[in-house]
A and B are shown apart, each in its own frame.
Chain A
Amino acid sequence: GAGVSQSPSNKVTEKGKDVELRCDPISGHTALYWYRQSLGQGLEFLIYFQGNSAPDKSGLPSDRFSAERTGGSVSTLTIQRTQQEDSAVYLCASSPDRSPYEQYFGPGTRLTVT
């Protein structure tokens, strides 16, 4: 079946601009995660959505980062006033209720801030 999809696959933006990254989880998966992967920091957790519960935002690095999940499906990660240190690959993952620990990742969005 279809896996997790993310768009765009690549995004180049100028410092100070806002960007929106999109994630479509696997159909029926109620949990959705955002991670960031950068050369120096490895894979870092950003935010977690589970059903209609309040999201776990404990991994967001600053208040310039926010995320929404509409209708329990698609999620958008927004970065405001981008900085060069925001350059990274942003990965989305989802998990099914039957196996909540198993996370399936999308291909990621490579963000470059110039």
Chain B
Amino acid sequence: GENVEQHPSTLSVQEGDSAVIKCTYSDSASNYFPWYKQELGKGPQLIIDIRSNVGEKKDQRIAVTLNKTAKHFSLHITETQPEDSAVYFCAAIPTNQAGTALIFGKGTTLSVSS
């Protein structure tokens, strides 16, 4: 089945710096790759997603890139702010399941210090 690996597990940056989180997946037929942000005590919040027919997508300070050949995708956060501190999860949807259940990476704890 699909397997999603996420790196790094923790990331500390100074306010204003950029942060990059990388994920790899195993199922070449996967075609949807969302990123979620989870703050303490809350459920995961969808922040950006990308589909397999697009190489890059940007939304203000957040961007996601996808390399289907290498089977990896990355989240880029520019001009980081303390409120960006949270756990970030990447995910992929495998295409051999009846529904569209997400397979998640293990998460990256991002700490932005001011």
Q: Which residues of B contact A (CB under 8 A)?
A: 32, 34, 36, 41-46, 49, 89, 91, 93, 97-107
- A33 B101 Cβ-Cβ under 8 A: yes
- A91 B46 Cβ-Cβ under 8 A: no
- B34 A102 Cβ-Cβ under 8 A: yes
- B46 A103 Cβ-Cβ under 8 A: yes
- B100 A106 Cβ-Cβ under 8 A: no
The one of B41, B45, B99, B106 in contact with A50, judged by C-beta atoms closer than 8 angstroms, is B99
Interface residues in A51-77 by Cβ distance below 8 A to B read 56, 58-59
User: How far apart are B8's CB and chain A's nearest CB, in angstroms?
Assistant: 15
Interface size on A, residues (CB 8 A): 25
- A43, CB-defined interface residue at 8 Å: yes
* A interface: dominant SS: strand
Closest residue of B by beta carbon distance from A91: B43
User: How far apart are B12's CB and chain A's nearest CB, in angstroms?
Assistant: 20
**Given A42-B107, A43-B104 in contact, is the A56-B99 Cβ separation under 8 Å?**
yes
- B93 A101 Cβ-Cβ under 8 A: yes
- A100 B97 Cβ-Cβ under 8 A: no
Taking CB atoms, residues of chain B closer than 8 Å to A33 are 99, 101-102
- A105 B43 Cβ-Cβ under 8 A: yes
Taking CB atoms, residues of chain B closer than 8 Å to A58 are 97-98
- B93 A107 Cβ-Cβ under 8 A: no
- A26, CB-defined interface residue at 8 Å: no
Taking CB atoms, residues of chain B closer than 8 Å to A31 are 99-100
- What 15 new A-B contacts, CB under 8 Å, besides A45-B102, A56-B101? A42-B89, A45-B101, A45-B103, A48-B98, A48-B100, A58-B97, A58-B98, A91-B44, A100-B100, A101-B32, A103-B100, A104-B46, A105-B45, A107-B41, A108-B43
